[in-house]
Amino acid sequence: MDEKSPSLLEKFFSERPKIYLNRLQAVIFEVAKKGDAVFFGRGSQLLLRSFDCAFHVLLTGSMEKRVQRVMEEKHVSREVAEQMIRQSDHDKRGFVRYAFDEDWLNPQLYDLLLNVDKLSFDSAAKIVVDAAKSDEIKACGRDSVRLLGKLSFKGKSSPLSWKRTS
């Protein structure tokens, strides 16, 4: 699945998406309970949102700056870069909507939002690291780590059952 919503056939006729989500949940909890982990996507902002230890960051930027960066990094044309970004955004949106019934760009899911149009990635990384090292974040309670330990590799609950009910 890798941050993509499963196909219509998979949703209804396969256990593969549910198995993937259960394993994803177990791995994220197992790694998170060890501390000092960084997760990129995969719904971790939702899986770990109730843990004081987790610090959720969203980097954002204008389409123009994103296209320029992809063109430079991947050595592709503007059209290819735009398509890559649209596809990536579509996949992330679909995955988070399917797995958690949530909008991945919902600012309430994040503790810090950074627009990197005017910041280098090094500057953004410094801001994130400094914030993550704050006393408030380091004051993660033992209860949160203990709860992560209980949840890791249990596999009894599926992230699909966590969908918000509004």
At 164, the pLDDT band (50, 70, 90 cuts) reads: very low
Distance CA 162, CA 95 (A): 14
Check whether 163 has a pLDDT greater than 60. Answer: no
pTM for the full model? 0.74
CB 16 within 8 A of CB 10: yes
Which CATH fold topology does 8-159 show? Rossmann fold (3.40.50)
The string of pLDDT tens digits covering residues 72-116 is 999 999 999 999 999 999 999 988 988 889 999 999 999 999 999
Sequence spans of domains, the chain:
8-159
b/e per residue 100-123 (b: at least 16 CB within 10 A):
bebebeeeebbeeebebeeeeeee
Q: Which pLDDT score is estimated for 22?
A: 83
Q: Is pLDDT at 166 greater than 50 in this prediction?
A: no
2-43 pLDDT per residue, tens: 566 656 555 555 666 677 788 888 888 888 877 778 888 888
Taking the C-alpha atoms of residue 102 and residue 94, their distance in angstroms, rounded to an integer, is 9
Q: What is the pLDDT of residue 50?
A: 77
